[in-house]
Structure 1
């Protein structure tokens, strides 16, 4: 078969017989599908990022059986709504319990401050008046009982959050005095005595404090698990919706494909010959892509085989028009970039030309075989 060079003008659009309104309608359908796909990609990325960043140490990290994990998740799922409703009540209850602990600690604090030896510790140390030049070098965090009392009574959010914070500051008052003053100094002895009495009272309250801290930790853990579960449910629902939407997009694409097939007129014998000739003008890379288009509608077609038997007459109208559009774009792109690729690609050109010659020879052979038969006018 003689090779023919086909100009771009000879390869017209596959919808030449379709009026402008129909073309515009198809274009709008494609635009809508593109918009939908972009939206779905964003949702898919969101779901993907959630599962990539999800903390595997919660629920899924336990070494228990998967059945036990599922039971925990089912139990949490069934009680999520109720727990969300109970959350405000739990916060109120926790606040009341903390207030009660604060009240009991205030009793202990009052007993300490009313002791006859408490007076040296009620105000900040007068560093300048007493000329304690090295005080701030020794004591890094000064504290006094008066400051502690002010923070306990503060209502503007600058006070203590829990009794353990108050305990730490009260203890710091006496530890500072014992650190700065010699063991035989009266202030050191007074601080040590008050600290021992304070620790004795604190040990009586400590079990209640520890119980409340444990309870708060459990409630915080439960709240985190519920939040994680809610996020998992939300993203699972999103993934389910994405699956349905992707299915709908597939259906839209299928309907669009059927519309395009219906609008495609039959390609004439002359057009098929020109398409055949144009295929032989493609580069090796573009020729491989063209054969992949054929393989998409014909799974048995081996696009990468050494000998390719391509029967143009056996291809569907959609495949023929797709090939025609692809060849048109490939030849146009090839002519535009021809000057830029002639300098440094000798080795690549040799390889491409070899592959191209092999495929073109195979195409010619298959054409010569079919030319022995009467040509088809379909």
Structure 2
């Protein structure tokens, strides 16, 4: 029953660490994908620590609400601008040469059998007027769309009719007059577009700061959760140390022989295991003297499990998913390693 409880706690820690890893990957992915230029700018302008920054950064939900209000205001300003474009259209329609362009071309009545082969998108002043005055959301979204359609009226006429024809000359003349009026109107358009670009840039920067603050908090929470895992690992380590039976002389001798059969990389890892619980042991020295009898029981059993698995992999001469490379087994082994290694982070209590 006690062994079952221990295994259950290890499995819980495995699941917990998996969740923390996913959080860590999410945090790392966010900060890695942050645009370098924006990051450099924010670093250069920021004098607040993460905790202080969170107090000054609006929530993401509030920023989204602000974005909706800002978009609605921008659309209203653009609709006002489109209505201001209306007088320009009226001036064009009141010209004595505007009559051929007031209504859609009567293709059938005029017998223009090739019209749709030449003209891709027919356009006329009445259609433009209806688009400007539409209140059901089907009208123009930007004043430049209205401008483009006025130009299209004249360009269609110039494209379909011979340049010596009256309609071609009338269209060309009216287009020139329209361009003059549009040039006078253009500063208002540019002012609104600049304002919208600035608002969107500020909103993007505010959203970036908000997301950074959220992920910074996630990173701190993750650190706290990892500290909790360390506490649980320490508790499990104490349980393991108390339950470890003493390794027999024969088992120690076999362990020493097995160590000599390890590959250089595995031998280095084995020595690192010893160094984790023995600060005076120099695992990276040119000559290493490992006294098996001087090691703690928990270290000996960790070595024993590690050597057994390493030699099994070597004997198969492949990365078998049933052995050391199995993700679940590997994770549990790493946790068992961590159980014994946590103590090296702690201050030794006086006896």
TM-score, length-scaled by structure 2: 0.74
Structure 1 CA distance for aligned equivalents of residues 54 and 274 of structure 2: 54
Q: Cα distance 1:260–1:96, how it changes in 2: closer, same or farther (>3 A)?
A: same
Aligned with 2:257 (options 274, 280, 285):
280
Map Cα deviations across residues 320-361 of structure 1 (whole Å, 9 max, x no partner). Answer: 222344455567x389859x9xxxxxxxxxxxxxxxxxxxxx
Match of 1:107 in 2: 87
Instruction: Report 1:43-54 matches (<5 A).
Output: 43-54=23-34
Higher relative contact order (CA 8 A, sep 6+): 1
Match of 2:281 in 1: 301
Does the Cα contact within 8 Å between 1:77 and 1:229 map onto a contact in 2?
A: no
Match of 2:56 in 1: 78
Q: In structure 2, the residue corresponding to 1:143 is in which secondary structure?
A: coil
More moved, 315-324 vs 213-222:
315-324
Q: Cα distance 1:227–1:335, how it changes in 2: closer, same or farther (>3 A)?
A: closer
Larger radius of gyration, structure 1 or 2? 1
More moved, 32-41 vs 81-90:
81-90
Q: In structure 1, the residue corresponding to 2:146 is in which secondary structure?
A: helix
Q: Cα distance 1:216–1:311, how it changes in 2: closer, same or farther (>3 A)?
A: same
Aligned with 2:6 (options 2, 26, 31):
26
Does structure 1 residue 227 correspond to structure 2 residue 207? yes
TM-fit CA distance, 1:213: 1.3
Match of 1:194 in 2: 174
Q: In structure 2, the residue corresponding to 1:310 is in which secondary structure?
A: coil
Structure 1 CA distance for aligned equivalents of residues 54 and 101 of structure 2: 51
Does structure 1 residue 158 correspond to structure 2 residue 144? no
Aligned with 1:316 (options 268, 273, 296):
296
Q: In structure 2, the residue corresponding to 1:100 is in which secondary structure?
A: helix
Match of 2:218 in 1: 238
Q: Cα distance 1:94–1:305, how it changes in 2: closer, same or farther (>3 A)?
A: closer
Map Cα deviations across residues 152-181 of structure 1 (whole Å, 9 max, x no partner). Answer: 344554321011110111111112212333
Match of 2:188 in 1: 208
Q: Cα distance 1:104–1:309, how it changes in 2: closer, same or farther (>3 A)?
A: closer
TM-fit CA distance, 1:291: 4.2
Corresponding pairs, count: 311
TM-fit CA distance, 1:198: 2.8
Q: In structure 1, the residue corresponding to 2:139 is in which secondary structure?
A: coil
Structure 2 CA distance for aligned equivalents of residues 302 and 76 of structure 1: 45
Q: In structure 1, the residue corresponding to 2:37 is in which secondary structure?
A: coil
Does the Cα contact within 8 Å between 2:57 and 2:209 map onto a contact in 1?
A: no
Give unpaired runs (5+ residues) of structure 1. Answer: 1-20, 341-378
Does structure 1 residue 260 correspond to structure 2 residue 237? no
Does the Cα contact within 8 Å between 1:265 and 1:317 map onto a contact in 2?
A: yes
Match of 2:157 in 1: 177
Structure 1 CA distance for aligned equivalents of residues 307 and 65 of structure 2: 65
Structure 2 CA distance for aligned equivalents of residues 216 and 186 of structure 1: 43
Does the Cα contact within 8 Å between 1:59 and 1:69 map onto a contact in 2?
A: no
Q: In structure 2, the residue corresponding to 1:158 is in which secondary structure?
A: coil
TM-fit CA distance, 1:319: 1.2
Instruction: Report 1:350-369 matches (<5 A).
Output: none
TM-score, length-scaled by structure 1: 0.70
Structure 2 CA distance for aligned equivalents of residues 335 and 179 of structure 1: 80
TM-fit CA distance, 1:75: 9.4
Structure 2 CA distance for aligned equivalents of residues 187 and 119 of structure 1: 10
Q: Cα distance 1:290–1:240, how it changes in 2: closer, same or farther (>3 A)?
A: closer
TM-fit CA distance, 1:142: 3.0
Over the aligned positions, Cα root-mean-square deviation in angstroms equals 3.5
